[in-house]
Amino acid sequence: MKVLVIGSGGREHAMAWKLAQSERVAKVYAAPGNGGTANEAKCENAPAALGDPATDAGQDALMGFVRREGIGLTVVGPELPLAEGIVEKFRAAGLAIVGPGKKEARLEASKGFSKAFMRRYGVRAAGSETFTDPAEALNYARNHFNGKQSSLDAAQPLDVARPLVVKADGLAAGKGVVIAGSFAEAEESIAAFMKDKSLGAAGSVVVLEEFLPGREVSVLAAVSVEPGRKGVIRPFVSARDHKRRFEGGRGPNTGGMGAIAPVPDFSAAAQRDFDTAILQPTLRGMEAEGMDYRGFIFFGLMVQDDRCSLLEYNVRLGDPETQAVLPLADFDFADLCTAIPDGTLAAFPLTWKPGAVCAPVAAAGGYPGSCRKGDRITINEKALEKTGARIFIAGAQRAAAELHTTELYTSGGRVLAASAWGPCADEAWTNAYRALEAVSFEGMAYRKDIGRE
Ligand code: AMP
Ligand code: GLY
């Protein structure tokens, strides 16, 4: 079977790598892919001329490519093509694809929609209100910081020092959440999102949300829900992203500076709580809404004292969580991707290797601000081999003039992740950082505390 992976990040490199290990898979195409998917065994990037998979024209071109190449299965990495209806298009043309439909993708693409869904089905989540009128949002924030009881925190003791979380409704590539510590900060973000349209249409509706203390956990899962059938959600091993740029969780938010799996502090009690308070009501909600959701889901949790609250759904696998989770998969990922649309997910043997994975990200100097590009990446293969780690490329390409060589040059903020296994979290950490020492490029920067924050 030939498989197509849509996307261009480290997550897609990890997916392509894992798919390529399947004996059933003859070839993996990545569209558009990156230098990592270009170099991976059994993998090849689709022609760049196919265009953007989040546009109508790009989706049509991809369908043509899938038919021409006889590709048997397409797996979608990022949210944008899903929110733009790629799944409906492929299925209407009889092409097998893994991912939720456009309506289902609103669980990520609209925070207002997803919060209303959580409320309707009793999924435990941070209290929130959705606003279309900036004056009402401002009024609400003013009351919050004046210590007036609001519907958000009716069940909580009054504490005016509590921050308020301001979220843009739409997809904002990680720039749509501000934790406002004062009314002035809340006012500034509400004005930026709703009036100045700093995020375009994504910010014209705003969700104001209760701030939850605790530690974050990501649970990725496979979902197979179809109208008229009993659905199933099968969670993967837990993972944790490290979103802030600097050690100790300081500095600006990023796309993720590294991930670990599993999360040592996600206890058995917390996992049971997640199942009853979040996963089961989500599944019941999907069934009740008659959703057609055959793909992956990501539960972004805040956990305190073994009690989980849902911060967000993503309608796809997480990045960089996937780079830590998939190396622990003790099953054929191509088989899983077939079982999801086929309706056989419930019986799929989803087993995990023992031990742990640590996957710190190496970024280009300046990230998450503007950063250098075009620097050559050198890897000491011998030293890397000793660590057992593998490098997942996020932002690097082959040089256009030397397409025949496998040398890579940086092309984005997050350049790569070193994903290393160990029999315990500490040894995974040691292996991962030894692996990063075998890699170098100008301005290379990384956090040393992935898994230890
Ligand atoms: P998001 O872009 O939705 O992933 O949110 C970015 C980050 O903001 C999350 O990873 C959390 O660290 C933080 N966050 C979002 N919502 C809340 C909340 N209600 N309470 C505390 N932190 C939050
Ligand atoms: N790591 C969070 C995300 O994939 O959005």
Any atom of ligand 1 within 6 Å of the Cβ of 211: yes
Report pLDDT for 244. 94
Confirm if 216 and 300 have CB atoms less than 8 A apart: yes
Any atom of ligand 1 within 6 Å of the Cβ of 175: no
Domains observed in the chain = 2-101 (3.40.50.20), 127-210 (3.30.1490.20), 214-347 (3.30.470.20), 356-440 (3.90.600.10)
Q: Of 177, 189, 182, 190, give the one whose Cα is nearest residue 145.
A: 182
Distance CA 200, CA 64 (A): 32
Distance CA 338, CA 121 (A): 29
Q: Which of 12, 299, 321 to mutate to test the pocket of ligand 2 (most atoms within 8 A of CB)?
A: 321
Any atom of ligand 1 within 6 Å of the Cβ of 174: yes
Report pLDDT for 203. 84
Round the average pLDDT of the chain to a whole number and report it.
94
Please give the average per-residue pLDDT across 205-212, as a whole number: 92
* pLDDT tens string 174-203: 788 899 988 889 999 998 998 888 888 888
Smallest CA separation from ligand 1 atom 7, residue = 177
Provide the percentage of residues in the chain whose pLDDT is more than 70.
Answer: 96
Any atom of ligand 1 within 6 Å of the Cβ of 126: yes
Residue 421 pLDDT > 80, yes or no? yes
Q: Of 378, 387, 441, 390, give the one whose Cα is nearest residue 414.
A: 441
Confirm if 195 and 133 have CB atoms less than 8 A apart: no
| DSSP reduced 3-state for 12 | helix
Smallest CA separation from ligand 2 atom 3, residue = 318
| DSSP reduced 3-state for 141 | helix
Report pLDDT for 158. 47
Distance CA 291, CA 215 (A): 31
Alpha carbon of 311 to ligand 1 centroid (Å): 6
Residue 1 pLDDT > 90, yes or no? yes
Distance CA 344, CA 405 (A): 41
* pLDDT tens string 141-175: 988 888 765 555 544 544 556 899 999 988 887 78
E-state strands within 144-231: 164-168, 177-180, 206-210, 215-225
Q: Which of 129, 171, 179, 298 to mutate to test the pocket of ligand 1 (most atoms within 8 A of CB)?
A: 179
Among 66-80, 163-177, 271-285, 433-447, name the one with the lowest average pLDDT.
Answer: 163-177
| DSSP reduced 3-state for 297 | strand
* pLDDT tens string 263-294: 999 999 999 999 999 999 999 999 999 999 99
Any atom of ligand 1 within 6 Å of the Cβ of 153: no
Smallest CA separation from ligand 2 atom 4, residue = 318
Name the one residue in this structure whose structure tokens are 């989040």: 54
b/e for 391-419, b at 16 or more Cβ within 10 A? Answer: bbbbbbbbeeeeeeeeebbbbbbbbbbbb
Global pTM reads 0.94
- What single-letter amino acid sits at 266? F
Alpha carbon of 115 to ligand 1 centroid (Å): 14
Confirm if 302 and 212 have CB atoms less than 8 A apart: yes
Distance CA 174, CA 298 (A): 15
Q: Which atom of ligand 2 is nearest to the CA of 319?
A: 4
* pLDDT tens string 369-405: 999 999 999 999 999 999 999 999 999 999 876 667 7
Confirm if 106 and 291 have CB atoms less than 8 A apart: no
Provide the percentage of residues in the chain whose pLDDT is more than 90.
Answer: 82
